[in-house]
A and B are shown apart, each in its own frame.
Chain A
Amino acid sequence: MQVFKLYFKLLRSVATSLLLYSVIFVGITVMQTVNRSDDTTGFMQEKIDTAIVNYNEDSPLVQGLIEYLSEYCDFADLGDEEDELQDALFFRQVEYILTIPYGFGEEFIAGLNVGVEKKTVPDAVYATTVDEAINTYLNTARMYLETIPDITEEELVTYVNSDLKVQAQIEIYGKADSNNHSFYMYYTNFAAYIIMSGCLIGVSLIMLSFHNTNIRRRNLVSPITLKSLNIQLMEGNLIFVLGYDLLLIVLGYILNADKTINTNVLMHWLNIIVFSVSALSISYLAAMLVKSKQANEALSVILPLGLSFISGAFVPQFLLGDSVLHFASFAPVYWFVKANDTIASISTLNITNAKPILYYMVIQLGFAVAFFALSMVISKNRMQREY
């Protein structure tokens, strides 16, 4: 227990830095949220410039969907060249790219679990309105599909259209501030930076103190076992990291206007916790490799910033080059962001569409295991040289 208690005493010395990071984080998030809500007040008038890539033009369902969406979107056909679409998004020619895959209508009617694909710029304030509209349309269609077994595509579209005409006005008002998805996506992505900084500042500093030869010797000559020392340190690390996660989760909940906690939100939270374990492992390894506290301070600024940037925590991944992303995929931040983006792109999570998300989480944990193992090997080697 002594070491465990000591852990939090040592943490005090970096409390100011940690607090500062959290304040900056809150500041930036608040600024973003304020911007967003300012803009959403005029949502009835404004439509979002949307590029549509339609591979299923002759499907009545798709036609119905597009017609319905035209209340929210100004559609433009920019072809289907990936690069050109990317550029259009980058230069804000459009804020939303909607892709309807081949055979979408047919597969939808067949009851398969299909969806449309979307890409959007980070601060696209109306994007969520479009998302909601798509979900409303498809969910309504799905409902008819389930209740009327032999319904044709044309019939389905007629039902849905007449249904939604009635609902439209009410729906839009009701869900006006529902930017839940995108809020959590940007919030959690950005949190990658804060979590990593926090770990490198807190965990590495404390581990470095204990790795100091003189201190280590004094601990080693005392009657405390090495195992107990390491376990207590690990407990301290876990509590610290989970506490930090909890703080970020609570802050996110407070800052977000939408207080619904659905599966998506829970998945974001789970992802935060998973990521923080891999951030913890990076800090362990860093403390093994770094020689001094000064070097660690430098690292705690550079590494989180660099990794967050190339991994798409600040700018969306699809705006980054392939080679950058390829490089980034060798660090867990990339997979954390990918998981967040995927969670945010799904309206209703189920076992099938949650699979890739869980897969990304497993990769993050894989990194954690690898980094911990590496630290352990280095530590063993070092011990053996002395003993």
Chain B
Amino acid sequence: MIVDVKNLVKRYDKLVALDHLNLFVEEGEIFGLLGPNGSGKTTAINCILSLLKYDKGTIEIFGKPMSQDAYDIKRNIGIIMQNVAVFDELTVYENISYFCSLYIKDKSEVKRLTQEAIEFVSLEDFTKFHPKKLSGGLLRRLNIACGIAHKPKLIILDEPTVAVDPQSRNKILEGIKKLNADGATIIYTSHYMEEVEQLCSRISIIDKGKVLATGTKDELKAMISLGEKITVEAYNLQEEQLDDLSKLTNVSSLEYSDNCLEIKSKKGKNNLIDVLDYLQKNEINFGKIYTQMPTLNDVFLEITGKELRD
């Protein structure tokens, strides 16, 4: 086990930011910590890194208890914070090189790793730039390069794609996959479920400082009752027909507006066929049809009763 967090409690005065949080991360995983704004992701990361004092719980990294002076643990961690942390007075190259040199003693090795990190985030054309001159996306990439240049075994990224254009975002996500493929274990926090779904091998959903569910994305989706969502373009449906439809087996809810019928079905077989059968039998004209498997947002919605994004 790379990271093992047990019963972590963190209070800010009266606010309980982390409420008996339990997490573990296995070697080689891309572990996702998914939760809405203010759910405690950053607080959890800061506690894990001994940047914050916590009230209760134990934290082990690489099988050893983590503390402020656990330098042998720190040496193997790379972090990318939610807020960009670079020196405005230094160039791109100097920033990466400085942070790398905090981990690596050998000068020529620092040089080599800095160069590699620059190539990794594709900042070759900007090495002499100062951070203030970089666009938001490039700045995020610099922030990442500063965190990973020393080739850590465990990389923690706290919402690295906030306020990033799609192009940079894709580069970042691809990069993370590549780091993982090269052997690093990743902890990735986000409130973008699409990202987490696309990237993470295992996910914990957290809200109000508590882990609500943990598993692979398929396991999480299997935990909820919601099956597929069916959308049909159907014309002139009458009240009683909608009533009939809602009584079909496995239909859990139904909405109809602008000739668009939306059905949320429970898990089960032939849900779509049942609906289409009914429409045909009642000679109702219909156009486009599509179905959608549940997303992590649906999982979140079902567990908490609210949307992941406010």
Q: Size class of A's contact patch?
A: 20 to 34
How close is B62's CB to chain A, nearest CB, in angstroms?
A: 13
B90 touches which one: A10, A214, A223, A225 (CB < 8 A)? Answer: A10
B254 located at the interface, meaning its Cβ lies under 8 Å from any Cβ of chain A in the complex: no
Q: Are B79 and A215 in contact (CB under 8 A)?
A: no
B51 touches which one: A9, A212, A217, A224 (CB < 8 A)? Answer: A217
Known: A221-B74, A223-B74, A386-B51. A9 touches B81 (CB 8 A): no
B146 located at the interface, meaning its Cβ lies under 8 Å from any Cβ of chain A in the complex: yes
Measured between beta carbons, the chain A residues less than 8 angstroms from B83 are 213-214
Interface flags for A205-237 (1: CB within 8 Å of B; 0: not) read 100010011110111111111000000000000
B7 located at the interface, meaning its Cβ lies under 8 Å from any Cβ of chain A in the complex: no
How close is B106's CB to chain A, nearest CB, in angstroms?
A: 12
Q: B207-228: which residues lie under 8 A (CB-CB) from chain A?
A: none
Known: A2-B102, A387-B68. A218 touches B79 (CB 8 A): yes
Q: Are B87 and A387 in contact (CB under 8 A)?
A: no
A139 located at the interface, meaning its Cβ lies under 8 Å from any Cβ of chain B in the complex: no
State in angstroms the CA–CA spacing of A160 and B305 once bound together.
Answer: 106
Known: A214-B83, A214-B84. A387 touches B103 (CB 8 A): no
Q: Are B74 and A387 in contact (CB under 8 A)?
A: no
Known: A6-B98, A215-B87. A222 touches B74 (CB 8 A): yes
- Give the total of B residues in contact with A, Cβ under 8 Å: 31
State in angstroms the CA–CA spacing of A2 and B98 once bound together.
Answer: 7
Most chain B CB neighbours (cut-off 10 Å) among A217, A221, A224: A221
Measured between beta carbons, the chain B residues less than 8 angstroms from A387 are 50-53, 68
Closest to B98 in A: A6
Q: Are B69 and A225 in contact (CB under 8 A)?
A: yes
Measured between beta carbons, the chain B residues less than 8 angstroms from A6 are 87, 90, 98
Measured between beta carbons, the chain A residues less than 8 angstroms from B102 are 2, 219, 222-224
Q: Are A9 and B74 in contact (CB under 8 A)?
A: no
Q: Are A218 and B99 in contact (CB under 8 A)?
A: yes
State in angstroms the CA–CA spacing of A60 and B84 once bound together.
Answer: 80
Q: B35-86: which residues lie under 8 A (CB-CB) from chain A?
A: 46, 49-53, 68-69, 71-72, 74-75, 77, 79, 81, 83-86
B243 located at the interface, meaning its Cβ lies under 8 Å from any Cβ of chain A in the complex: no
State in angstroms the CA–CA spacing of A209 and B87 once bound together.
Answer: 7
B89 located at the interface, meaning its Cβ lies under 8 Å from any Cβ of chain A in the complex: yes
B297 located at the interface, meaning its Cβ lies under 8 Å from any Cβ of chain A in the complex: no
Q: Are A215 and B89 in contact (CB under 8 A)?
A: no
Closest to A209 in B: B87
State in angstroms the CA–CA spacing of A218 and B51 once bound together.
Answer: 10
B101 located at the interface, meaning its Cβ lies under 8 Å from any Cβ of chain A in the complex: yes
Q: A1-27: which residues lie under 8 A (CB-CB) from chain B?
A: 2, 6, 9-10, 12-13
Q: Are B51 and A222 in contact (CB under 8 A)?
A: no
B94 located at the interface, meaning its Cβ lies under 8 Å from any Cβ of chain A in the complex: yes
How close is A237's CB to chain B, nearest CB, in angstroms?
A: 16
Q: Are B85 and A218 in contact (CB under 8 A)?
A: yes
Most chain A CB neighbours (cut-off 10 Å) among B49, B75, B88, B89: B89
Closest to B89 in A: A13
Q: Are B89 and A214 in contact (CB under 8 A)?
A: no
State in angstroms the CA–CA spacing of A222 and B72 once bound together.
Answer: 10
Q: Are B81 and A222 in contact (CB under 8 A)?
A: no
State in angstroms the CA–CA spacing of A74 and B79 once bound together.
Answer: 78
Closest to B78 in A: A221
How close is A121's CB to chain B, nearest CB, in angstroms?
A: 44
Closest to A217 in B: B51
Q: Are B94 and A217 in contact (CB under 8 A)?
A: no
Q: Are B85 and A386 in contact (CB under 8 A)?
A: no
State in angstroms the CA–CA spacing of A215 and B102 once bound together.
Answer: 13
State in angstroms the CA–CA spacing of A104 and B15 once bound together.
Answer: 77
Measured between beta carbons, the chain B residues less than 8 angstroms from A221 are 49-51, 74, 77, 79
How close is B281's CB to chain A, nearest CB, in angstroms?
A: 63
Contacts A215-B87, A218-B146 known; list 9 others, CB within 8 Å.
A6-B87, A9-B89, A214-B81, A214-B85, A215-B85, A218-B81, A219-B102, A221-B51, A222-B102
Can you give 28 A-B contacts (C-beta < 8 A)?
A: A2-B101, A6-B90, A6-B98, A9-B89, A9-B98, A10-B90, A13-B89, A205-B89, A209-B89, A214-B83, A214-B85, A215-B85, A215-B87, A217-B46, A217-B49, A217-B81, A218-B85, A218-B99, A218-B146, A220-B51, A220-B68, A221-B49, A221-B51, A221-B79, A223-B74, A223-B102, A224-B102, A387-B68
The 6 closest A-B pairs by CB, nearest first: A214-B85, A13-B89, A222-B102, A223-B71, A223-B75, A2-B101
